[in-house]
């Protein structure tokens, strides 16, 4: 009999590297669990992970269940669903947390049906699990015209979440090291049962906005696809990723993979630099968990300034080259 209330965090890997967005969720859930006596946090990692991550950087007091089978290397809905269901039962978990990613948007609904669980998507961890959270999550609906509150109705809950960036992207601050339990291979995950038909790699080598700690995003006010060269240069200097508003993607200036917002990606960078983005509610829906927001806009009344921590009023074509120059100088001196 398990007297503890156990919650499970799903750690998503790609190419054997656990995604930063998953680690942020793992860290934050553990930090919040420390405030809830009688709560244990475990994690499930499907597929290979670098020994560096397993041995050193998955901090905390919890147990990481590692299913290190070849069949879990790439996402397979059938295999992953079975694995998560079995692990949820094994640890008698009452809640399951995912980072809000393309994978979790596919997997979590399947799991909610299999496990008869309430599913809340696009939540901030602190909203659903913080001291005042009460398991509810709020989201803008009807193009930002209203705020809807979603509350779980079943004992078992599944959340796809973003988390405000934690201080470290690799380990929680307690210094403790999670213990790793390797799960027994299962005969039911043979790859020939569910063969992979084709794997497509989009925009190889480009940093994913959903994983980036710094995002330099551009809106329609950038004026052309060519102007995004300035943002690429700035992102390169800062070690960040380029993001875009939907207007930009609709213009065909940038790929949809970079779109941030209601119909794009939800991001949680430590720094979000919004360049010539008006700040429509559908765009803001994607950056609610961002740390510091810096906005550049020539319109002093642009709505983006309502949520920005720092406002630069002016023309991006004048300000961005200056910013790039300043950063270059700064980096030279370091
Ligand atoms: C159902 C639905 C879903 C949507 N989903 C998304 C989504 O996921 N993501 C998203 O982004 N949008 C989404 N939208 C669209 C959203 O409503 C806005 O239309 C869009 O975000 C506007 O993009 P923008 O800010 O780049 O462009 P604009 O609204 O055209 O704003 C351009 C801004 O650039 C400024 N500007 C112009 N020139 C300069 C200059 N030289 N220097 C500095 N500033 C300048 C202007 O003052 C203006 O504020 C959605 C809309 C709907 C209806």
- What 3-state class would DSSP assign to 150? strand
Do 40 and 183 lie in one domain? The reply is yes
Q: What CATH code is carried by the domain that includes residue 313? A: 3.40.50.1220
Which of the listed residues 160, 193, 226 is the one where a domain comes to its end? 193
Structure tokens that stand for 234 in this block = 């700035």
Please write the tens of the pLDDT for every residue from 160-215: 998 866 544 444 444 567 788 888 877 666 655 666 777 777 665 678 898 899 99
Q: Which of 249, 261, 285, 313 to mutate to test the pocket of ligand 1 (most atoms within 8 A of CB)?
A: 261
Torsion of CA 198, 207, 218, 265, to 10 degrees: 60
Largest CA distance in the chain: 65
Return the CATH number at 124. 3.40.50.620
The answer to the question of residue 198 being in a domain is: no
* Shared domain check, 19 and 155: yes
Residues 92 and 28 in one domain: yes
Residue with tokens 């994978």: 103
Q: Is the CB of 280 under 6 A from ligand 1?
A: yes
Q: Using one digit for the tens of pLDDT, what is the confidence trace for 274-328?
A: 999 999 999 998 998 899 999 999 999 999 999 999 999 999 999 999 999 999 9
Give the ligand 1 atom nearest the CA of 317.
41
Residues 176 and 219 in one domain: no
- Residue 128 · residue 135 · CB < 8 Å: yes
R_g (Cα) of the chain, nearest Å? 21
pLDDT of residue 324: 97
3 state SS of 208: coil
* Domain shared by 28 and 171, yes or no: yes
Residues 136 and 94 occupy one common structural domain: yes
Considering the domain architecture, whether residues 141 and 250 belong to the same structural domain is answered as no
How confident is the model over 231-257, as pLDDT tens digits? 999 999 999 999 999 999 999 999 999
- And the tokens for 100? 């809000």
Q: Is residue 158 part of a domain?
A: yes
Q: Is the pLDDT of residue 112 over 50?
A: yes
Pick the residue whose CA is nearest to atom 22 on ligand 1. Answer: 247
Residue 206, in any domain of the structure:
no
Average pLDDT of the residues in 66-89:
91
Q: For a pocket test of ligand 1, which of 146, 215, 228, 245 has the largest count of ligand atoms closer than 8 A to its C-beta?
A: 245
Tokens standing for 99? 């980072």
**Rounded to whole angstroms, how far apart are CA atoms 104 and 114?**
15
Confidence class for position 153, pLDDT limits 50, 70, 90: very high
User: What pTM was computed for the model?
Assistant: 0.77
Do residue 54 and residue 25 come from a single domain? yes
Whether residue 232 sits in one domain with residue 164: no
Domain membership of residue 55 as a residue range: 5-193
Domain for residue 16, yes or no?
A: yes
Q: Are residues 235 and 303 in the same domain?
A: yes
Q: What is the domain count for the chain?
A: 2
Do residues 47 and 67 touch, judged by C-beta distance below 8 A?
Answer: yes
| Cβ 317 under 6 angstroms from ligand 1 | yes
Domain end (from 193, 222, 243): 193
């Amino acid at each position: 009999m398990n007297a503890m209330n156990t919650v499970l965090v799903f750690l998503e890997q790609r190419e054997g590297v656990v995604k930063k967005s998953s680690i942020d969720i793992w860290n934050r859930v553990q930090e919040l669990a420390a405030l809830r006596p009688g709560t244990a946090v475990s994690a499930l990692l499907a597929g290979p992970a670098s020994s560096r991550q397993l041995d050193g950087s998955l901090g905390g007091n919890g147990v990481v269940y590692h299913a290190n089978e070849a069949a879990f290397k790439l996402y397979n809905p059938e295999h992953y669903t079975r694995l998560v269901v079995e692990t949820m039962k094994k640890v008698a978990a009452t809640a399951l947390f995912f980072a809000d990613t393309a994978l979790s948007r596919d997997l979590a609904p399947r799991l909610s049906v299999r496990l008869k669980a309430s599913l809340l998507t696009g939540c901030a961890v602190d909203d659903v699990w913080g001291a005042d959270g009460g398991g509810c999550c709020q989201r803008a609906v009807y193009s930002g015209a209203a705020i809807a509150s979603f509350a779980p109705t079943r004992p078992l809950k599944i959340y796809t979440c973003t988390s405000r960036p934690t201080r470290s992207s690799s380990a929680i601050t307690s210094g403790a090291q999670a213990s790793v339990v390797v799960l027994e291979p299962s005969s039911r995950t043979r790859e020939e049962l569910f063969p992979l038909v084709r794997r497509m790699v989009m925009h190889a080598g480009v940093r994913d906005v959903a994983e980036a700690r710094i995002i330099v995003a551009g809106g329609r006010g950038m004026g052309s696809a060519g102007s995004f060269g300035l943002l690429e240069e700035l992102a390169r200097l800062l070690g960040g990723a380029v993001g875009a508003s939907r207007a930009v993607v609709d213009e065909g200036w940038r790929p949809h993979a970079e779109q941030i917002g209601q119909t794009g990606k939800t991001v949680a960078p430590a720094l979000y630099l919004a360049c010539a983005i008006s700040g429509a509610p559908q765009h803001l829906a994607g950056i609610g968990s961002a740390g510091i927001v810096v906005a550049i806009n020539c319109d002093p009344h642009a709505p983006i300034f309502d949520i920005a921590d720092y406002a630069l009023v002016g023309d991006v074509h004048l300000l961005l080259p200056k910013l790039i120059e300043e950063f270059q100088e700064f980096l030279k001196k370091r």
